[in-house]
Structures are given as C-alpha cells and as structure tokens.
Structure 1
Amino acid sequence: MSLLDHAIWWQVYPLGACGAPIHDRDGADAGHRLRRLDAWLDYAIELGCSGLLLGPIFASSSHGYDTLDYFRIDARLGDDADFDEFMSQCRARGLSVMLDGVFNHVGSAHPLVAESQAQGGGLVQIRDGQPAPWEGHGDLALLDHRNPAVADLVVEVMLHWLRRGIAGWRLDVAYAVPPEFWREVLSRVRAEFPEALFLGEVIHGDYEAIVHEGTLDSVTQYELWKGIWSSIADSNFWELAWALERHQEFSEEFVPQTFVGNHDVTRIASEVGDAGAALAAAVLFTVPGMPSIYYGDEQGFQGEKGHGRDADAPLRPALPASPAELGADGWWLYRLYQQLIGLRRRNAWIARGKLEVLAKDNEWLEYVVRGEAHELHVRLELGDVPSAVVSVDGSQSFNWGASQ
C-alpha cells in the first residue's frame, strides 16, 4: 500500500524546533541539535503519526531555503552521523521520513552562483551579469532548469538521500518549476526507487495539471486550507462547502496533501481560537487526502505570520527538551487529535473516498465520504458552542463540543 493511502505526517521545521540560530549565527554554527528530535519521536507515534515531514536540513545561509550544499547536513543541526542515527531511531519506530528539497533556487552564496557568473551562465540563471533572483529575493538565485546539468544535480541529490533511507521528497516551490523538468527527474529517480513519494508545494495554480504533467504524487491543498480556517473565522460554511466540492474534484485525480497549518502560515489556533482549531482538525481527518500536522498545532500553539526578516519566527518555535515540559493547557487538543487520527487509521479508505456535501448553512454543515462499502458522516456546527459529530456506517465514532 502506498504512503498516499495510510501516511499521517508530523511536519517539523528542524532549525526552529531544535533551537538553531537563524540569522545571527556567530559562534553558534556547530551543534548536534537534530538529535533533539529523538525525544519527540514517541510523542509523534503516540499522536498517531506514521511519518515525519522535515523542513530543510541541508547547509544553508539562514532559514534553510537558501541552500549552500545539498549533500551536507547544516552544521547548526549536526553532521552525517547525527542524520544516520536519527534515521535509525525513526526506522526502529516504523516512522517514514520525507525531506524538503529546494530545487527551484539556491542561496546566493552557493558556489554554483559565482561559478555561473564567471562563465556567463551555467546551473544558475544569469541576467545582465547577475544571478536572477526568485520573486525579488536577492539572497535566492534561480536554477536554470533548461540546463540538463541541473536535472543531473537534482537526480543525484534525490538518490543520495533516498539511498540513506528517506521515503520521499517535498518539492519546494514546485509550481514555479517547469513540469517537464519534474517529469524527467522523477522518471530517473523512480527507476531506482519506484515507491518514493513526491509531494509538490503548490500555493496557487492548476493542481491537476501540475500533478499530471510533472508526474508528482501529490500537491499541497492550499484551497482547502483556506476554506477551512476562513469559513470558521467568518461563520460561513458556504465557503467550506465550496472548497470541499473542489477538493472532491481534485481527489478524483490524485490524493492531495491536506493540512490546517505549516511553516509558512499563521497558526490555526491564532486564526480561529482553540474551539475553531478543534473543528478544523475534525475536517482534516475526515476528508480524502494525505493529512499532515504541523508541530504544535496538536497542542494549540499560537503564532502569527509577521513582516520582514523575522516574519516566520513566530511560526517556527523551539520545542522544549521533551514533551514532558509542554504546558498543561494543550493536552486536551492533543487527545482530541489522537481520537481523530485513530478514527482515520481505522478507516484508511477515507484517503481515496468520495466526498459529497449534503447540506449547509452559515453555521452548520453536513457531508459524507463513501468508499469500500463504508460511509462516514460528518456534522459541524458553529454558534455559541461549536461541535463536531462523526459517524461511520451509522455508528457514532466521534462527538465533540456541545454535548461534552
């Protein structure tokens, strides 16, 4: 069975979660911080997750998306030995690991940039003698995906880390890379690793075309993410109904990656409050797709995306040394996540089920998911006391809110 059918990911931004300095790095480069995540592996398992979706771990200038070396673990996190031991700890628990591959651009200090400038072109795009920036970011230089050597490099990087035990790749900014590039690269990688999973980050664009033309397995379902938090915040389940109908259209073509939070967006609990976050979780685990939980959302972590150099810092906090040091006020939501994930794992058919919206109004919504001769029914209500009731094959499986 493919990871698309059963994986539930705990997404972690390692540089932040492990307490590494992002910008002011003087005297703090060396460390074995990656191993701090060892203490959280059982926590993820007990939550119900089966895999870790890791943010950037390769050598970079600051936040990880400005890569300096695809083959070297960032010194702030450790070294190859730390990575190998971490992977051993994950394998011992049956946890799959997906890495974040930033193959649209590199950091401006990457050796390829100076090399391409000196040659007037190369693996990095050069315009008027300068590296072409990505979306105006002068510290990020676009790779030249027309150059066959770039495809060779990406294939080499992917195979290197797949051979060391990872299960697949999250492809950063996948929507900005030509689909024919992905098609060539992934066909070459799948020749050795046919079961590897490739998840494209797609914030906007034609999801189906990007999946099919690029031969990706899945893409990030930002439309549904927006529909979930916005409909709860605005007491407008008409918006969520529309997003769910769109989600079903996508689900007929591929298995989308579903989420209510990640390293780039304001925390769900900050958007809609604790009760709203519980409703959002109920949607996340009862619709088709491959769900991921951004670390701390299951505890109601707060954090709003800001502006400027440190805009993402509130979204990417350091974890305490162990789960035992978490505050007491978030464990009720953790237990609610456990219930919902347990329901999802007992009904893995939901991942490829067919969703139908039955009825809706501003403050309530009903939908059903059908598959493999089973039926899951969900009723969500807002109002003074939000609630979510889920039944599987006519038997109530989850009840939270008004009746509690």
Structure 2
Amino acid sequence: MWAYNETFYQIYPIGFCGAPVHNDGIEAHRILKIGEWAEYLQKLGIGSIILNPIFESDNHGYDTRDFTKIDCRLGTNEDFKEVCQRLHEHDVKIMLDGVFNHVGRGFWAFKDVQEKKWDSPYKDWFKINFDGNSCYNDGFWYAGWEGHYELVELNLQNPAVVDYLLDCVKMWIEEFGIDGLRLDVAYSLDHNFMKRLRSFCEELKPGFALIGEVLFGDYNLIVNDEMLHSCTNYECYKGIYSSFNSMNMFEIAHSLNRQYGPEQWCIYRGKHLMTFVDNHDVSRLATILTNKNHIPLAYGLLFGMPGIPCIYYGSEWGEEGAKAPDNDYALRPCFEEPKPNELTDFIRELIAVRRESDALCNGSYRNVVLTNHQLVFERRSDSERVLVAINASDQEYTGGSHELQGTFERTVLYQVGSAEGQKTSDSDSVNTAGKNEPEIVALQGQIAMPAYSVQYLKMV
C-alpha cells in the first residue's frame, strides 16, 4: 500500500478557500486555490492530500446535499478536475472525505421523503418512523447522527443506498482520478458496507486507499484485510501533546508499546495507523502545547513513531487555533499563500528521511531509554535499524542502555535555539531547523541528548 510510506496533508476546503460558512447558492471558483499550492506541497514532500468535504452541502460539508456535485461555494466539477490534474502532475495523490453515515436535510432523497412521506420511494434510505415527529416538525421521526438532527442517518443496510454510494465513488474515481477515501465517523459505519466498499474500490482501482476516522475502541475491528487499510490513531494523538505538557514521556511510550511493542500481546503490530498532532476537529498543536519549544519535538516524535503521518494545513509553520465550545471556525482558516518558516524546513527534512527509511515506515517498535523528560526508541526492519531520541527537558541529558551499542549515521539533529545560544523560555519561538549533513556517531552504552532536541540515528 503506497500510503504506508507517504506523508499526508489535510485541508478543510470550505475554510481553506475562504468560502461562506453557510451555503449562499452563489457559484465561485475558490477550489482552484488548492491547485495553486501543488508546487509547495511537492517541495514539502507530501505524498497525498486529504480533502475534507467538497460536495454540495447545507453548511459545513458533512451535511451533504448532492454527492455528485462540487459545492457551488467552491466551484464546479470542471474546476476540481483541473485541481486533481495539477496535483497529480506534482506527484501528489488525492483522498476525499467519504461522508457515508449521514447526509444533510437538504439531501435530494430526504427532501423527497419530506414531500411525499409514505409515498416516497426513498423512505427506506433513512431510519424513519412515521408514528413520531422530528424537532423540525417533518411529520415523521428520523435518526440523526449522535443527536444532531441536521445530520440525517443513512440506512446502510439498504442495498439501494449502498449501490448509490458506490456509484458516486465510481464517478469520483473515473472523472477525478482520486486515489483514496477518508471515511468520516468510520466507527459508526456498517461493517458489511465497508467490506463491500473495499472490494469494490480495489477492483475498480487497485491500490485505492481507505482510511477511517475512529476515536476509540479496538481499531482491529475495521482495520484489516477485509475493510480499511488504516484509521486515525487518537490514542497516540492525545499521548503526544499530553506527554509534553505534563513532562511525562511515559504516557506516549506506554501507548506506543501497547500498540506496536515487541510483546505478543501488543495489539496493532504490523498495522499502519494514521498519526497526527492536530486536525480540523481539535485545537492546533501550537495552541495546545504549553511550552512552544516542544513544537518541533512533537513533530520529531510523530515522524519517528509507527504510523502514517498527517499534517494539518498551516500547522507546519506553527499556526495557532483553539477549538471553541460551539464551533470550529478558528481551526479552519483561510491562508492567502503558504507561510513556510524554519519549522517547515525541519518537517520537510523529517518527511524526506522517513520516506527513504524502511525502518521508520514499516519497522517494529521498542522502548530503549525512558524517563519523564526523555525518550529513546528503536525502529527496526529486516534491512535497517534506527534510533529516535527526544529530550523534552531544558537540560542536556545522557541516556544509558546496553542497547545503545554500535556505529550510527545521524541523519537528523534538531536542537531548539542552537544557532543563537540555548533558549529555554516558553515564549521563545522555534528557530534553528536541522540542516546538518549526516555524521557518524559511535555509541558505547550511552547517548548524549542536548536540551530540547530530536535525533534520528541509523545504524551502519
């Protein structure tokens, strides 16, 4: 699966393109802006973008009106074909948000039910009870996703609904050439539907990637040979920022070992879950971390640990954004153009190093040195051994272990403030990116870890 060796880049198009929050019915060709970022994404090293909803909807995109038409606020189908062509020309694949659990109240089939009630041929497309009434006084009750009745649940056990959705996917593949789908609220989707989707897409376009949004539970239930290739790793998302904020690296080390460690009971060995430090639903990393010196360290951890890294647009230069109690608008801004800085340069380096490393993309995981403030772990494949060393402290540290033996090539060395003298204040910005040439390091049971630093060492 091509996705396992790539880095993804997530964009929320309605916000990214500066579209109105509510559908105003006015056609504007805003989606072309995504194509204008193709060269930037290629230089960053992105293998695929993930686009949150782009199809005609009532408001935020997850309340779909028509799965076959680009939202008028973003443009036309022809506009999006142009975007896809430009991204593919720059070696960037395209993954769309498959919102298959629910639709908006403006969805054409639901509107038919509102009008014709029992006489609608689409009444069984939804979970409807004509003995009740909705909060919108429709004259019937229906299931809304997790109590949100602007999101009308689809009946995925109805073959007609499944056939319709698969026809839409076929159109997206054949007309736009998309390479994969992010399945919204995959934890709510019918398992037989996901099995059908997997076989359908694989037959239509071999290598088509399916990645599900899952918050909790056993990811093995849907990430397997019959359903999805991957899903979002929210356990480790929380572990990353929480470990730095509490200065307790035991938390993320425990989660990683629980998921990928050497013991037989570890639950996700051999799988490639999607890893991230923020996305369109949570506060950005630069906002949620209490010590801004930890921002590059979090990315160093992200790209060293098992999984498929995904960057949320703007966070690669340290953009801030806090989730509000009643909306996510601050998380989904419009940027006129990329604003790369030294953090971006470091992330570009991490992407390049990971892409060329079999151990980082596919290798096993083992904790080597673990304290409250430091973590050294090993990634190993049949062809390669890599050590990743993170020091979250403002003091230099020497880690010791009998496993720290041998000659290594240090491919990444990032130390916050190393160009202008060591900085330790929370208010200091990230400054010096790791632009080092690889150097040979001999380990004899110890590793020197500068304050606020990231190191990747490949055994030679």
The partner residue of 2:273 within 256, 260, 273 is: 256
Matched, 1:135 2:146: yes
Question: After the TM superposition, which residues 111-190 of structure 1 pair with which residues of structure 2 at under 5 Å, given as runs?
Answer: 111-116=108-113, 118-119=117-118, 121-127=123-129, 128=132, 129-163=140-174, 164-190=176-202
Alpha-carbon shift at residue 402 of structure 1 (Å): 5.8
Aligned to 2:237: 225
The answer to whether the 8 A contact 1:8-1:291 is kept is yes
Q: Does 1:96 align with 2:93?
A: yes
Q: Which has the larger radius of gyration?
A: 2
Residue 31 (structure 2) pairs with residue 34 (structure 1):
yes
User: In the comparison of the two structures, how many residue pairs are matched?
Assistant: 393
Structure showing the higher helix proportion among its residues: 1
Give yes or no for contact 1:181–1:214 (8 Å, CA) kept in 2: no
Q: Is the 8 A contact 1:180 1:213 kept in 2?
A: no
Hey, what's the Cα distance between the residues in 2 that align with 1:6 and 1:267?
24
C-alpha distance in structure 1 between counterparts of 2:396 and 2:221, whole Å: 37
* Residue 115 of structure 1, CA deviation: 3.0
Q: 351, 361, 375: which one pairs with 1:341?
A: 351
What residue in structure 2 maps to residue 193 of structure 1? 205
1:10 alignment partner in structure 2? 9
Q: Work out whether residues 284 and 321 of structure 2, in 8 Å CA contact, stay in contact via their aligned partners in 1.
A: yes
User: CA 1:4/1:51 → structure 2, altered by over 3 Å: closer, same or farther?
Assistant: closer
Q: Aligned residue for 2:410? A: 396
1:205 aligns with 2:217: yes
Give secondary structure in 2 for the equivalent of 1:355: strand
Matches of 1:287 and 1:271 in 2, distance apart?
20
Q: 2:359 touches 2:379 (CA, 8 Å); kept in 1?
A: no
Superposition map of 1:305-384 within 5 A: 305-308=323-326, 311-320=327-336, 322-323=337-338, 326=339, 331-384=341-394
Name 2:19's counterpart in structure 1: 20
Q: Contact 1:269–1:276 (CA<8 Å) still a contact in 2?
A: no
Q: Distance in 2 between matches of 1:51 and 1:392?
A: 36
Amino acid of the structure 2 residue aligned with 1:182:
M
Aligned to 2:286: 269
Deviations 1:136-162 (A, max 9, x none): 112100001111111111211111111
Which of 283, 288, 291 lines up with 2:301 in the alignment? 283
SS of 2:309 mapped into structure 1:
strand
The one-character-per-residue Cα deviations of 1:191-222 (angstroms, maximum 9, x if unpaired) are 22221100011111210112138511111111
- The residue number in structure 1 matching 2:82 is 85
Distance in 2 (CA, whole Å) between partners of 1:252 and 1:135 is 32
Shift of the 149–343 alpha-carbon distance from structure 1 to 2, 3 Å rule, reads: same
User: What amino acid is aligned across from residue 412 of structure 2 in structure 1?
Assistant: F
CA distance in 2, matches of 1:197, 1:283: 25
Q: What is the alpha-carbon distance in structure 1 between the residues aligned to residue 124 and residue 94 of structure 2?
A: 32
In the alignment, the residues of structure 2 paired with residue 11 and residue 365 of structure 1 have an alpha-carbon distance, to the nearest angstrom, of 28
Whole-Å separation in 1 of the counterparts to 2:5 and 2:388: 20
Q: Which moved more, 1:230-239 or 1:35-44?
A: 35-44
Identical-residue share of aligned pairs (%)? 35
1:20 and 1:299 mapped to 2: Cα distance?
23
Instruction: Decide whether the 8 Å contact of 1:179 with 1:213 is kept in 2.
Output: no
* SS in structure 2 at match of 1:140: strand
| Alpha-carbon distance between aligned partners in 2 of 1:303 and 1:385, rounded to the nearest angstrom | 29
Question: Relative to structure 1, is the Cα distance of residues 31 and 52 closer, same or farther in structure 2, using a 3 angstrom cutoff?
Answer: same
Match of 2:320 among 302, 305, 314: 302
TM-score, structure 1 as length reference: 0.92
SS of the aligned residue for 1:358 comes to strand
Q: 1:19·1:33 contact (CA, 8 Å) conserved in 2?
A: yes
Aligned equivalent of 1:246:
258
The alpha-carbon deviation at position 234 of structure 1 amounts to: 0.9
Distance in 2 between the 1:253 and 1:143 partners?
33
Q: CA RMSD in A?
A: 2.3
* Aligned position for 2:45: 48
Q: 1:196 to 1:402 in 2, by over 3 A?
A: closer
Distance 2:31 2:100 in 1: 22
- Answer yes or no: is the 8 Å Cα contact 1:300–1:333 preserved in 2: yes
Q: Structure 1's 141 and 214: CA in aligned 2 closer, same or farther, altered over 3 A?
A: farther
Amino acid at match of 2:10: Q
